[in-house]
Copies of this chain bind each other. A is one copy, B any other.
Amino acid sequence: MLFICLFYVFYFLLFLLQVLGCDYAIRGEIVSHAQRLQHELQNKPGSHPFNEILYFNVGNPQSLGQKAITFFREVLVLCDHPPLLDKSETHALFSGDAIARARLILDVIPGRTTGGYSDTLGVKGLRDAVAAGIASRDGFPANPDDVFLTDGATPAVHIIMQLLIRSEKDGILCPIPQYPLYSASIFLHGGSLVPYYLDESTGWGLEIAELKKQLDDARSKGITVRALVVINPGNPTGQVLAKENQKQIVDFCKNEGLVLLADEVYQDNVYVDDKKFNSFKKIARSMGYEDEDLLLVSIHSVSKGYYGECGKRGGYMEVTGFGKEVKEQICKVAIVNLCFSNISGQILVSLVMNPPKVGDESYESFNAEKQGILSSLARRAKALEDAFNGLEGVTCNKAEGAMYLFPRLHLPQKAIEAAKAVDAAPDMFYARCLLDATGIVVVPGSGFGQVPGTWHIRCTILPQEEKIPGIICRLQAFHEAFMQQFRD
């Protein structure tokens, strides 16, 4: 009987592998291989031509040494352990405005505890705070009833896809390259990904003509396109959209009746002086469009920005232009999925949207921490961009924002054939050779999608700044040897 049982289990899993044909490159084959190498290095130091694995694959800043923002952590800790608020020693350990903020936050949480389930959509007072932060960012009002707090961006995307997708006849316009959360979620919910290509030659430009072409093409195949996903600043591509471009996108969605799903999780990561983050809501309102003119979902997370609090799982979605009934349905989907988001994540997203202001006791030290992180990220982005552009056969657009570079590899034919011989895509082959030679972990471009016949890697800008020059040297030496070996 056990044998039958095991047989069934394996049969399921075969089935499952088909169903879950999608993969999640960022934690895929290369990362498993890296973990094996790390294990070997620990057990047998000197067994590889490097002494540490350098993770350039995930946007996970704190695991690479970035410090948490003190003010945010102080408030979290005081909310988690309220007895501290009444102790005299606490004033020696925490800033006065963190203590005051923690009291304000506890006042709005039922039971004054981070240990309770919240309302499905988040603690009301924290949604109020997030809405106030959005309004202050945009200069246009935000309604707390439009704000739903989530455990990072992921559940928000899943909920929206669950709402929009009925069958494979429902399509979602998605950028290529794209962060694979979107392809995975569309796949899981049984819909069709309708790709639109970002134009690498214009700095990963988003062209309306391309959107229109792909939309018409999908429609001609009987696909009902429901939504357009835009990631701004871009992941993995790092571009920051220009205002005029955003206006065109808003009009496109309005005219075509598409939900605009704006992934704005990198809103605090802009590194160039001539670009600025503008939320799609601000753009739409500045065009004179009101709530009812555009179906807009804006997604944010505490995992990125200068805070990089991936482990805390906090985020929000602001849902505008939909009726009350739709919001009730979002709530229902969340309830049925039992998505209860953790309270510390909810507090953190309220802080991220309402950081210390000029004049607050913590402001100067907060701002020094924030600017220190952002300016270091900008320097790291520039150094890596220059390094990639200095490599033979590699071209790399600027990382205007986000946390990634997405250089293109113009690989020699011999390398492509060598990849084929081991049944790997050429960018996967390159990434594996790079890892084996240097311990550097990057993600092959195929995990994000790319124009067929082009090859890329995604590389974060997150390893510690002092390590970057050494890493660049290793990268250069590897690349030179690789090209030498495979030069046509």
Copies in the complex: 2
**A62 to B17 Cα, complex, angstroms:** 41
CB pair A325–B13 under 8 Å, yes or no, is yes
**A87 to B162 Cα, complex, angstroms:** 48
CB pair A27–B257 under 8 Å, yes or no, is no
CB pair B311–A118 under 8 Å, yes or no, is yes
Given contacts A16-B329, A20-B336, contact A310 B77 (CB under 8 A): no
CB pair B15–A338 under 8 Å, yes or no, is no
- At the interface, yes or no: A390 with Cβ under 8 Å from chain B? no
Q: Which of A135-165 contact B (CB under 8 A)?
A: 151-152, 154, 158, 162-164
Q: What residues of B have a CB within 8 angstroms of the CB of A63 in the complex? A: 110-111, 113, 115-117
Given contacts A12-B164, A181-B338, A342-B313, contact A332 B20 (CB under 8 A): yes
Q: What residues of B have a CB within 8 angstroms of the CB of A120 in the complex? A: 27
**A117 to B462 Cα, complex, angstroms:** 14
Q: What residues of B have a CB within 8 angstroms of the CB of A310 in the complex? A: 115-117, 340
**A181 to B340 Cα, complex, angstroms:** 13
Q: What residues of B have a CB within 8 angstroms of the CB of A152 in the complex? A: 340
Enumerate chain A interface residues (CB-CB to B < 8 A): 1-2, 4-6, 8-10, 12-13, 15-17, 20, 22-24, 27, 58, 60-65, 68, 70, 73-74, 76-77, 80-81, 83-84, 87, 89-90, 92-93, 110-111, 113-118, 120, 151-152, 154, 158, 162-164, 166, 181, 184, 188, 224, 226, 254-259, 292-293, 295, 303, 308-313, 322-323, 325-326, 329, 332-333, 335-338, 340-345
Q: What are 5 A-B residue pairs whose CB atoms fall within 8 Å in the complex?
A: A1-B255, A12-B163, A22-B336, A58-B117, A115-B310
